[in-house]
């Protein structure tokens, strides 16, 4: 029994180290190498949701949108209440101009976390893309009221009241 516990702890340690390396590589602009580190992190611990999300984001950065969506979908299947998986997938849908799907994901994130500034900001961009400037401004104002400094700039740049 102890051997199994040691093996599990070792896998977690390896996964964490590979994740940390992936974040360092990403900070250095080495996206493809970072993806490989996140692959190693996931191989060591397939339940490490942050590794899946970061790898998905980076896959999107290199144009692997199918892989990006697959990673986000995997996290949502494993952890259906993972707010940032919905926000990440919603952002990917925005980049793919699939605004109706993005709206569903941002609404789901806000249903689970009504104070999530990032979800409000992103949903604002979705509403803007769908031609709902008033709704977009409302979301950015909510984000600003919840303390998001970026929202103030977004509001100004989009001529919101």
DSSP output for the chain: -HHHHHHHHHHHHHHHHHHHHHHHHHHTT-HHHHHHHHHHHHHH-TT-HHHHHHHHHHHHHTT-HHHHHHHHHHHHHH-TT-HHHHHHHHHHHHHTT-HHHHHHHHHHHHHH-TT-HHHHHHHHHHHHHTT-HHHHHHHHHHHHHTT-HHHHHHHHHTT--
Whether 15 and 86 map to the same domain: the answer is no
Q: Are the C-beta atoms of residues 106 and 84 closer than 8 Å to each other?
A: no
User: Looking at residue 6, what is its pLDDT?
Assistant: 56
Query: What is the distance of C-alpha 126 from the center of its chain?
Result: 15
- As given in the structure block, the two tokens for residue 3 are 């051997």
User: Looking at residue 2, what is its pLDDT?
Assistant: 44
Q: Which domain holds residue 141?
A: 81-161
User: Looking at residue 13, what is its pLDDT?
Assistant: 87
Calpha distance 124→121 (Å, rounded): 5
Whether 85 and 161 map to the same domain: the answer is yes
Choose one of 30, 47, 79: the last residue of a domain. 79
Residues of the chain with pLDDT under 70: 1-9
Whether 156 and 85 map to the same domain: the answer is yes
User: Looking at residue 20, what is its pLDDT?
Assistant: 96
- As given in the structure block, the two tokens for residue 46 are 């397939």
User: Looking at residue 4, what is its pLDDT?
Assistant: 52
Domain count, the chain: 2
Nearest Cα to 144, choosing from 128, 160, 126, 132?
Answer: 160
């Amino acid at each position: 029994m102890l051997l199994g516990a040691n093996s599990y702890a070792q896998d977690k340690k390896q996964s964490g180290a590979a994740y940390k390396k992936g974040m360092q590589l990403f900070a250095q602009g080495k996206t493809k190498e970072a993806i490989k580190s996140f692959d190693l992190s996931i191989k060591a611990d397939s339940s490490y949701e942050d590794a899946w999300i970061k790898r998905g984001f980076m896959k999107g950065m290199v144009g692997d949108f199918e892989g990006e969506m697959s990673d986000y979908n995997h996290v949502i299947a494993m952890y259906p209440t993972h707010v940032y998986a919905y926000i990440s997938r919603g952002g990917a849908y925005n980049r793919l101009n699939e605004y109706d799907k993005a709206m569903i994901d941002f609404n789901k994130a806000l249903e689970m976390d009504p104070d999530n500034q990032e979800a409000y900001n992103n949903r604002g961009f979705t509403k803007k893309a769908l031609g709902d400037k008033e709704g977009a401004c409302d979301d950015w104002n909510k984000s600003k009221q919840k303390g998001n400094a970026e929202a103030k700039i977004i509001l100004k740049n989009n001529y919101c009241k």
